[in-house]
Structures are given as C-alpha cells and as structure tokens.
Amino acid sequence: MIDELFLWFVLIGFIAQLIDGALGMAYGVISTTFMIALGMPPAYASANVHAAEVFTTAASGISHSAAENVDWHVFWRLALFGSAGGIAGAFLVSHLHTDTFRPVIAAYLFGMGVVVIWKGLRPRIQAPRLHRVRLLGLFGGMADAIGGGGWGPVVASNLIARGGDPGKMVGTVNLAEFFVTLAVSGAFLLALGATFGKAALGLLVGGVLAAPVAVFAARRIPRKLFTIVVGVAICLISAWNLWRSLAGL
C-alpha cells in the first residue's frame, strides 16, 4: 500500500527533475534539501538521491536525445572525462575529510552564475568557443561527487557562458550526466555499501514522470530568458550551498 511519505518522495522527485531537465542542474541539491527537511539523515538522503539519479538521468537523457537536443561531439568528451572525475571524487570523499572544498566549489559556481546572467543580457556577437571540454568534464565529475551535486551547475553553466546554445547544452549535459552518475554510484557502492530504499523509488517515479515535461520546457523557452533563468538558479543554489558550508550544516 502506498503511504503518504512515499507520495512526498514522488513529489520531490518530480519537482527536482522538472527543474533539472529544463535548466540542466539542481536535481541532487533540491532532492537532498527537501528530504532532509522531512527529517531524513543527510547521509541516507544522499545515498537515496544517487541511487534514483541513475534512472532519472537516463530518462532525461533519452528524452533529450529523441528531441535531437544533444551535441554528440561535446557529449562523448563530457561523458568519458566526467565519469573519470566522478569516480576519483567519490573515492576521495569516501576516505578524506573534504568539507573545506565545498565553499570553494560553491563560490566558483556563484561566479559562474553571474557570468551566465551577463551572457544572457549581452547581445551574442561571437560564435561559440567550446574548448577544454575534457578538463571541464573532469572537474565537473569531481565536483559532483565531492560536493554532493554540481555536475549541472559546473558543466552546463560553463558551456552556456562560453556561447553554447542553452537548449543543446542542457540536453548534452543531461545525457552525459547519466554516465557520470552511474560511475559515481558504482564507486560509492564499492566504498560505502548500499543504503537506499523507499525514498529512492519515490524519487525515481517522480523523476521519470517529469523528464518529458522538462524537455518540452527546455526547447520552448526563449534563449535570452532561458539563459538568465539558468544564471539566477545557479546563483541561488550556490549561495545556499556556500552558506551551508560556512555554517557547517
């Protein structure tokens, strides 16, 4: 029988994936924040989010691919190097005290959010320059594993700030995120063991339901508005993460 708590997990997964699929970020941050607000211990919340994210990123990535919303040249570099960075970050955070890294990552993301907003307000006068994608994927994967989330804000924000088309970059980052999440989850499973259950299933159901809706939104929001919304979201999420890191929460 479905209980009320399970339905809350479904709702959290739906909201988180709706935002993540449309903007290319924030699934882990939003899900974990809501689950902790419901009284779940942070470690258990993180484990469930990572387990569910394997399936939600697959659904989102497939939806973006079907909508021809993926730059395949950028995708392969992000997926391979992002997975390598994620594995390294997962084993690092499992064995070392890394709280000092989180404020640095959050501050960097806030700065990237400002850059993205500026790009949205500024006329586009030059062609995209999507260079150093491998290094970006490597850093993004490590940031995601070490900081408990951040693949979307690190990678999508950077690619959009460099002049990449927001819709294409969000789709590409979402599809690559499946492989990164799969690699990170496997590394955490080896390092820490499995600690997931009803919450992961609820997040999964909600996320899968939201994925097609998010793709529809990503393709129809005007470029300028979309870019500004992405930048504002990055700033808000990063400011929250920075405050939590400095406050020791």
Q: How far apart are CA 4 and CA 34, in angstroms?
A: 15
Per-residue model confidence (pLDDT) at position 49:
81
Q: Which residues contact 52 (CB under 8 A, 6 or more apart)?
A: 13, 31, 196, 199, 200, 201, 203, 204, 207
Task: Evaluate if residue 125 carries a pLDDT over 50.
Answer: no
Cβ 180 vs Cβ 28: under 8 Å: no
Q: What angle do CA 174, 179, 184 make, to 5 degrees?
A: 110
Residue 185 backbone class (left: φ over 0; alpha: ψ -120 to 50; beta: rest): alpha
Per-residue model confidence (pLDDT) at position 137:
92
- Domain residue ranges in the chain: 4-247
In 36-170, DSSP assigns E strands to none
What is the per-residue pLDDT across 150-188, written as a single tens digit (0 to 9) for each?
787 778 878 877 777 777 888 898 899 899 989 988 887
**69-78, 139-148, 196-205: segment of lowest average pLDDT:** 139-148
Q: How far apart are CA 106 and CA 102, in angstroms?
A: 6
What is the per-residue pLDDT across 100-122, written as a single tens digit (0 to 9) for each?
666 776 677 677 778 778 767 76
Per-residue model confidence (pLDDT) at position 138:
93
pTM over 0.75: no
- Element (H or E) spanning 23, and its range? helix 4-23
- Tell me the torsion sign for CA atoms 192, 194, 195, 196: positive
Neighbours of 169 (CB within 10 A): 27
Q: How far apart are CA 71 and CA 34, in angstroms?
A: 32
